[in-house]
Amino acid sequence: MSAQIIDGRKIAASIKAEVKAEAEAYLKRNGRKIGLAVILVGDDFASGIYVRNKINACNENCIQSFSHRLPASTTEEELIELIHKLNEDNTVDGILVQLPLPSHIRQNVVLSHISAKKDADGFLAENAGNLMLGNPSLNACTPCGIIELIKSTGCKIDGANAVVIGRSNIVGKPTSLLLLENHATVTMCHSHTSNFVNFSRHADILVVAVGKKGLITGEMVKKGAIVIDVGMNREDGKLCGDVDYESVSQVAGYITPVPGGVGPMTIAMLLKNIVKAALALE
Ligand code: NAP
């Protein structure tokens, strides 16, 4: 048996098309584009690329981007002052602070000043708390993308046995909560789990977000399972996931490739979050 590939690029493209149509309708109704403010502090090379990709995605999909590139010497107070201005700015619907920040700036303190209504990344405690309580919230982009990928298979999440390996605040925990919201029975595994294979082998849906190349092999996976590989590991300049694609694709029913699976979904879901924020503020 060879698993069906879940094509993240194709699914992301269709989400972006929906976003663009909504953003164009917003422009017609309001006489201005939906706006995202992107703050980059310092000159970290990778962060510069991520920011450029996000700005390009906005430009291609009828969303106005406001780029704030600040020197590495920027103080915490200056950054917070800018965030307060953007919170008050009616042309800005979403605010994104590119992480990581220089070490003299306390990330949590700075992020806590972003209005929860404009929290494009869905990282704030208020939004994470609302997700946990089942209230409307702006949710973290990668987990939202993961749910879309699972739904694209047409398989039911309701009642499925889901296992999430990894419990970070930006991937593992919110993914588990979103699966729970969709009525899966969810097990979370982490570095203290004694033998996660006892769980992974029974998973109808297996999400792996650890950051260890090839951690999951075919014999750890249930026949016909949906396997979502969130891992992004670089080896000899090549990007690879946490799942050993060759062996797992012989057992799973559906699998995401790396690259081309979860990765492209993150920016698409960021755009979707910005539209959601704008519509709530309209
Ligand atoms: P993270 O904050 O480092 O969390 C890793 C998680 O894996 C932790 O919860 C850790 O457990 C757990 N873990 C570590 N070793 C383990 C083991 N041997 N068995 C079971 N669990 C283990 O990483 P993250 O930010 O969630 O990211 C995870 C991966 O996804 C990375 O490769 C990252 O680059 C990738 N990623 C991709 C995207 C995308 O858009 N495609 C977005 C975000 C992240 P403890 O909590 O016990 O330490």
Q: How far apart are CA 282 and CA 276, in angstroms?
A: 10
pLDDT in the model for residue 93: 98
- Tens of pLDDT along the chain (282 residues)? 699 999 999 999 999 999 999 999 999 999 999 999 999 999 999 999 999 999 999 999 999 999 999 999 999 999 999 999 999 999 999 999 999 999 999 999 999 999 999 999 999 999 999 999 999 999 999 999 999 999 999 999 999 999 999 999 999 999 999 999 999 999 999 999 999 999 999 999 999 999 999 999 999 999 999 999 999 999 898 999 999 999 999 999 999 999 999 999 999 999 999 999 999 999
Shared-domain flag, residues 160 and 244: yes
Q: Which of 163, 194, 212, 232 to mutate to test the pocket of ligand 1 (most atoms within 8 A of CB)?
A: 232
Cβ atoms of 51 and 39 within 8 Å: the answer is: no
Q: Respond yes or no: is residue 98 known to be catalytic.
A: yes
| Catalytic-labelled residue, pool 98, 173, 222, 242 | 98
Burial of 133 (0-12, 13-18, 19+ CB in 10 A): exposed
Shared-domain flag, residues 81 and 166: no
Cβ atoms of 248 and 3 within 8 Å: the answer is: yes
pLDDT in the model for residue 1: 65
Angle at 88 between CA 83 and CA 92, to 5 degrees: 80
- Chain mean position to CA 23: 20
CB 141 less than 6 A from any atom of ligand 1: no
Shared-domain flag, residues 36 and 99: yes
- Chain mean position to CA 189: 19
Q: Radius of gyration over alpha carbons of the chain, in Å?
A: 19
Shared-domain flag, residues 166 and 216: yes
Cβ atoms of 256 and 224 within 8 Å: the answer is: no
pLDDT in the model for residue 77: 98
Cβ atoms of 62 and 20 within 8 Å: the answer is: yes
Q: How far apart are CA 214 and CA 240, in angstroms?
A: 8
CB 26 less than 6 A from any atom of ligand 1: no
Token pair 């889901």: residue: 162
Cβ atoms of 160 and 204 within 8 Å: the answer is: yes
Over residues 123-136, the pLDDT tens digits come to: 999 999 999 999 99
Cβ atoms of 230 and 239 within 8 Å: the answer is: no
Angle at 211 between CA 209 and CA 214, to 5 degrees: 95
Instruction: Provide CB contacts within 8 A for 72, sequence distance 6+.
Output: 41, 42, 43, 102
Over residues 246-255, the pLDDT tens digits come to: 999 999 999 9
Buried-exposed string 188-208: b where 16+ CB fall within 10 A, e elsewhere: bbeeebeebeebbeebbbbbb
170: domain CATH number? 3.40.50.720
pLDDT in the model for residue 193: 98
Ordered alpha helix ranges (H), 119-261: 125-133, 141-152, 172-181, 197-200, 245-248
| Catalytic-labelled residue, pool 16, 33, 54, 173 | 54
Shared-domain flag, residues 110 and 147: no
Cβ atoms of 8 and 260 within 8 Å: the answer is: yes
CB 90 less than 6 A from any atom of ligand 1: no
Q: What does the CA dihedral 122, 132, 227, 170 come to, rounded to 10 degrees?
A: 30
Closest by Cα among 171, 56, 50, 143 to 100: 50
Which atom of ligand 1 is the closest one to the Cα of 167?
9
Residue 23 lies in a domain: no
Identify the domain containing residue 51 by its residue range. 31-115
Shared-domain flag, residues 81 and 148: no
Amino acid identity, position 68: H
Residue 194 lies in a domain: yes
Considering its fold, how many domains does the chain have in total?
2
Over residues 84-119, the pLDDT tens digits come to: 999 999 999 999 999 999 999 999 999 999 999 999
Shared-domain flag, residues 256 and 174: yes
Shared-domain flag, residues 197 and 91: no
90: domain CATH number? 3.40.50.10860
